[in-house]
Amino acid sequence: MDFAYDDAQGMARQAAEQVVRRFQPRLDEIWDEVFQHHRFPTEIWDALSEAGLHGCVVPEEYGGTGLGLSALTAAVEVLGRAGLVNALVILTAMDALCVLRNGSDDLKGRILPEVAAGRMKIAFALTEPDAGSNAFRISTFARRDGDVYRVTGQKTYISGIDEADRALLVCRTISADDLKAQGLPKAYGMTLLLLDPKDPGVTLRPMPMRGIEGARQFTVHLDGAAVPVCDRIGEEHQGAVALFNTLNPERILASAAACGMVQYLLDRACRYARERSVFGKSPIGAYQSVQHPLAEVRIGLDAARLLTQRAAWAFDRGLDPHEVGQYANMAKLTAADLAVQAADRAIETLGGAGFSEEYRVIQLWETARLLKTAPVTRELILNFVAEHLLELPRSY
Ligand SMILES: Cc1cc2nc3c(=O)[nH]c(=O)nc-3n(C[C@H](O)[C@H](O)[C@H](O)COP(=O)(O)OP(=O)(O)OC[C@H]3O[C@@H](n4cnc5c(N)ncnc54)[C@H](O)[C@@H]3O)c2cc1C
């Protein structure tokens, strides 16, 4: 085992640090744009493109740097510490990895260079009103019609699809009823397509959501939306297997963003605790009832970071998606729980100031809390660990 960052991670972290330094004088202004005006931070996206960070997961032959998911994970943590992670950065990278691992040569040649150059943003559309935690229950249906699929159905909570050039759409090409009639498993008959959100068969309706800032959520109505067959990722009906090449990186990158957020909250809380004096000369940071909760979070951060890096390492080495999933799930649960704890303890340290938008802590409580629920809930992770690592029976 080697616990040091390798060269690729070092390069990606350096690139991210440069972006942070460039925007440091204007961080307050950027936070206002994102948190108060709910705008997508285009200039940050462009700066990440220039720094080559969108190309981390894209091999050199397709115009990327090929540094890998571990490197992007390390960079996302740096960006998270400065509050500069946007959901579309994570979504685009995870979708690109799915194209890389499962797409045809033609698809890779058309999509990956665009992603590497920062010219293509990709949203992710899995959740439906009746299918969240139970992804196999989706009913959005893609019917083959010559050279295109015609897609009908509804997706919900889809982040950033208004800004995106494509969406990785998870749909059925065999209905649940037909699967049952044919005695086929429920994981069969799913297909992944790259949808153009501007297709006339697509209608977006914004949702009044909180939790992810700088990327709004939408319900997506699909009424015969056309997707060329050549924009299918992987084999027809076999999308469930390919899907894990995007869900695992999503969990890993979400964990990295949470680790960055935890570091931001610790920085904020410790700075305040060093400066704030309430009784006499000692700052409140000298009181152990203030120190210890923050020290516990600091220890938790090392644990969450190591779990996150192990998961990214396993993905980059091409380990079995089921094994990567174990690591990704454990990292995500640990990092998300820690982020909520860190936000709560930062608020505790700041007292009333913890509720002032000016200190930029209360806003992160919502983001941290969201990470316990999305992209996958902690209950579903605990179910997975109980079933697959502890071999306990499944009740649902
Ligand atoms: C801000 C935001 C952004 C999002 N962005 C996207 C996106 O871009 N793309 C996308 O596809 N989706 C997105 N989602 C959806 C997100 O992934 C789902 O909300 C999440 O997976 C949970 O699904 P659900 O909301 O349907 O909850 P449900 O599946 O209805 O679950 C409700 C509760 O029941 C619990 N539960 C359910 N089954 C079990 C069980 N067997 N055992 C124990 N507990 C159980 C769950 O853990 C949860 O606490 C987003 C959600 C939010 C809030």
**Tens-digit pLDDT profile for residues 266-325:** 999 999 999 999 998 899 999 999 999 999 999 999 999 999 999 999 999 999 999 999
Q: Residue 1 — pLDDT band, cuts 50, 70, 90?
A: confident
| Spatial separation of the C-alpha atoms in residues 149 and 127, rounded to whole Å | 20
How far is Cα 203 from Cα 154, in angstroms, rounded to an integer? Answer: 10
Residues 6+ apart with CB under 8 A from 45: 86, 88, 89, 118, 121
CB atoms within 10 A of CB 111: 24
DSSP string, 321-390: HHHHHHHHHHHHHHHHHHHHHHHHHHHHHHGGGGG-GGGS-HHHHHHHHHHHHSSS-HHHHHHHIIIIIS
CB 40 within 8 A of CB 215: yes
What values do phi and psi take at 339, rounded to 5?
-65, -40
Q: Ligand 1 within 6 A of 384 CB?
A: no
Residue nearest (by alpha carbon) to ligand 1 atom 48: 377
* Per-residue model confidence (pLDDT) at position 8: 98
Q: Is 307 in the pocket of ligand 1 (CB under 6 A)?
A: no
For residue 234, the one-letter residue type is G
Q: By CB neighbour count within 10 A (0-12 exposed, 13-18 middle, 19+ buried), where does 371 fall?
A: buried
Reply yes or no on domain 123-237 having CATH 2.40.110.10. Answer: yes
SS3 assignment for 347-364: HHHHHHHHHCHHHCCHHH
Among protein residues, the one with the nearest Cα to ligand 1's atom 27 is: 132
Q: Three-state SS across 107-151?
A: HHHHHHHHHHCCCCCEEEECCECCECCCHHHCCCEEEEECCEEEE
- 241-389: which CATH number, 1.10.10.10, 2.40.30.10, 1.20.140.10, 3.30.1330.60? 1.20.140.10
Query: 246 alpha carbon to ligand 1 midpoint, in Å?
Result: 17
Considering only the top CATH level, what class is 7-120? mainly alpha
* pLDDT beyond 90 at 36: no
What tokens were used for 205? 């309706």
Instruction: Give the helix/strand (H/E) hosting 155.
Output: strand 148-159
Task: Indicate the pLDDT class of residue 145, thresholds 50, 70 and 90.
Answer: very high
Atom of ligand 1 nearest to the CA of 217: 3
**Buried (b) or exposed (e) across 16-27, using 16+ Cβ within 10 A?**
bbebbeebeeee
377 CA distance to ligand 1 middle (Å): 6
Atom of ligand 1 nearest to the CA of 375: 17
Torsion angles phi and psi, residue 169, rounded to 5: -100, 125
- Spell out where 173-237 has E strands: 190-195, 202-206, 217-228, 232-233
- Atom of ligand 1 lying closest to residue 132 CA: 26
Q: What is the pLDDT of residues 49-85, one digit of tens each?
A: 999 999 999 999 999 999 999 999 999 999 999 999 9
Residue given tokens 């699967």 in the structure block? 179
pLDDT digits (tens, 9 = 90+) for 316-350: 999 999 999 999 999 999 999 999 999 999 999 99
Mean pLDDT of the chain: 97
For ligand 1, mutation pick of 377, 381, 387, 396 (most atoms within 8 Å of CB): 377
Tell me what the mean pLDDT of segment 102-110 comes to: 98
**Domain ranges across the chain:** 7-120, 123-237, 241-389
Could you tell me if 220 and 161 are in contact, meaning their C-beta atoms sit under 8 angstroms apart? yes
pLDDT higher than 90, residue 37: no
Q: Is 219 in the pocket of ligand 1 (CB under 6 A)?
A: no
Task: For residues 14 and 386, give the distance between their C-alpha atoms in angstroms, rounded to a whole number.
Answer: 39
Whether ligand 1 lies within 6 angstroms of the CB of 211 is answered as yes
Which DSSP state fits 26? G
Pocket probe for ligand 1: among 88, 92, 157, 329, the residue whose CB has the most ligand atoms within 8 Å is 157
